[in-house]
Homo-oligomer: A and B are copies of this chain.
Amino acid sequence: MNPADLRIVEVGPRDGLQNLSAFVATDRKTDLIRRLAACGIREIQTGAFVNPRAIPQFRDMKDVLAGVRSLQNDGVVLTTLVPNLQGARDAVAAGVDKLDFFFSVSRSHNLNNVRQTPQESIAALRQVLDEFKSNRGLAIRVNLATVFGCPFEGYLETAVILKYVEKTARLGVREITLCDTVGWGYPSQVEAILKGCLAAFPEVVFGVHLHNTRGLGLANALKAWETGIRVFDSAIGGLGGCPFAPGASGNVATEDLVFLFQSMGVSTGIDLDMVLDTASFLQGILPDTPLTSSLFRAGPPRKVPFGTEEGGKSDCVS
């Protein structure tokens, strides 16, 4: 990656769908992923290889990947989330380009989420790295959850976060994404944590995975961008609500993030209108799940003719 380039990683097919109670049919998942790729998105998290009893939504991962694997011919990087060696094996067997290994830096959250301590997750990460070290075509990113706040432990000390970044980087991992899992992050904190990570680990490409639960998703993304981050996760339609905040916004929406960067003149390589069309498609699949994306509701800025009835409706006083 050219370090000047922005990379937006679409996580909607995974983070957006994982908490939905209704199963989304395999061909709809593959259709969604194909449409996302057609928007110009170059890296897509297609789902997760986790226990299907824990998250039944992803019981069809093998079929989903079989259905979208041809996108790799167009240079689209297909990833899945994996919490352990078994997940990594399944993902590699299913043909992913990249593993998104994950664990929580909060002990309680990791125990709650994947039934192991962070230390045990790091041991699992080491197994994964060992097993696939000869597989040159396979990339590995590590996603650290609850970096910006944990529902059990509150805000973590930066030293704790840096400790897990160091343990991860020491294993040779060169891409780490810091996740605001429950949307507690705020700009000055995001800046402080990222500055600490960037200064201490210049060899690592850091990314952020932000949620908009409390409305600060784009403010945090802006601050991350200004701090030097160039890898941003987002989810089409802003799906991805957290069970701790039912009814709240989910992930930072892909269309909102693309709009932020485009408006500031930062090239994304992504077609915003096609992203909005894809959000409409997603809303059609999920009619009972109102999308929380701002741009999906408002549309991009658009001039209306002065003196027409459409214009005359306005009393936007100030």
Contact = CB atoms under 8 A, between A and B. Distances in A.
Interface of A: 14-15, 18-19, 48, 50, 54-55, 81, 102, 108-109, 111-113, 143, 145, 149, 151-154, 179, 181-184, 186-189, 209, 212-219, 221-223, 242-245, 247-249, 253, 256, 259-260, 263-265, 293-295, 297-306, 311-318
Given A145-B317, A248-B297, 9 more contacts: A55-B317, A102-B317, A112-B306, A151-B303, A179-B318, A186-B260, A214-B300, A218-B218, A244-B316
A112 to B, nearest CB: 6
B313 A243 contact: yes
A277 B219 CA distance: 25
Contacts of A81: 317-318
A191 to B, nearest CB: 10
A143 B318 CA distance: 7
10 contacts: A112-B311, A151-B316, A152-B303, A152-B306, A152-B311, A186-B263, A188-B264, A214-B256, A215-B256, A216-B294
B315 A260 contact: no
Give the number of copies in the complex: 2
Contacts of A212: 215, 294
B219 A55 contact: no
A255 to B, nearest CB: 9
Contacts of A188: 263-265
Given A188-B265, A264-B188, A316-B182, A298 B214 contact: yes
B260 A216 contact: yes
Nearest to A106: B306
